[in-house]
Amino acid sequence: MKPNYSVALVVLAATLTAHGQKIQVPASWDKLAAKAQEVANVTLDKSMLGLAAKFMKDDNDQDSVEINRLLEKLNGIYVRHIEFKNPGEFTEAEVEPVRAQLQGPEWSQIVNVSDKNSKEKVVIYVRTVNGKSAGMVILAEEPTELTFVHLDGSIDLHDIDALSGNFGIPKDVHAPKANSEKPNPTGEKR
Amino acid sequence: MDPFEEQMKKALRRELPRAGFAARVRRRIAVQEERPRRAVWPWFPALRWVLPILVCLVIVVTLWYRQGKVERARGEAAKQQVYVALRLAGAKMQLAQSKVRQF
């Protein structure tokens, strides 16, 4: 009997999907990085996050406590940030493969802002599995910057809210408090 | 023959050992062999294990220390990467927020 590799592949894919989804950044980004002025690559899987959390505990301040709480929920952090000297170094074609991976039923755009004058575009995607948040992706295109941030894990805007005021995270952007009377200030802009 | 040559001749002349020389040498050898040998570790016998144990301990502590150092470096690097990721995420959220406010 011939082994059915396609079934095995589907099972493997389903298993991988169940345990988190890594968004593949296209190889063309490596070529972009080669001509960039500044590049930031962050690849932290669960074990590395655990290690980072262990060393953050040593810092023993409020920020570290909040970050640790956030890290406990994450399975991975993946960042690609490319900064160019001149505008127009990348095209939409370079971003499209990333966007295409965020089109599945689990992904939804919660923020999509695009400014034609300044040529800036920021899209925030949230992944939801069985009604629970399972990740967040920020994809930002600016004339001289291209940024992809993937926070893989059961993180939502409330968690980011807890870090507000630090790391450039705005204070009042995100999730409405559970008993808040005010409407969500972010809204959805599509 | 001058006095120097005379002295040399006297000094270098063949002389037979005294009677019983060989027997005396054999007896002395026998006595020396009978004496107990001096131990390599004359003091407390357990101490002979101290040096190898100390060497092992030093090796283990050195390896542990180096491993800790590598672990610490990896941890610090991971921590910095977390900060970079959060800063970038924060900056882009800030950008999105400012755009939303503009609208």
Long-range CB contacts (< 8 A, 24+ apart) of A26-31?
Answer: A26/A94, A26/A97, A26/A98, A28/A93, A28/A94, A28/A97, A29/A80, A29/A82, A29/A94, A29/A146
CB-nearest partner of B96 from A44, A122, A166: A122
Q: What is the mean pLDDT of residues A43-68?
A: 85
Nearest Cα of chain A lies from the Cα of B58 at a distance, in angstroms, of: 27
Mutation for testing the A interface, residue in B67, B71, B74, B92 having most A CBs under 10 Å: B92
Average pLDDT estimate for A84-91: 92
Average pLDDT of the segment spanning A124-146: 93
Asked whether the beta carbons of residue B89 and residue A142 sit closer than 8 angstroms, the reply is: no
A14 close to B (CB below 8 A): no
**What's the confidence (pLDDT) of residue A170?**
57
* Cβ atoms within 10 Å, residue A27: 8
A–B: how many Cβ contacts below 8 A?
113
Which pLDDT score, from 0 to 100, does residue A177 have?
41
pTM (2 d.p.): 0.68
> Cβ of A142 under 8 Å from any chain B Cβ?
yes
When the pLDDT of each residue in chain B is averaged and rounded to a whole number, the result is 86
* Contact check, Cβ <8 Å, A52/B97: no
Tell me, what DSSP letter sits at residue A39?
E
Number of C-alpha atoms within 13 angstroms, CB side, residue B75? Answer: 16
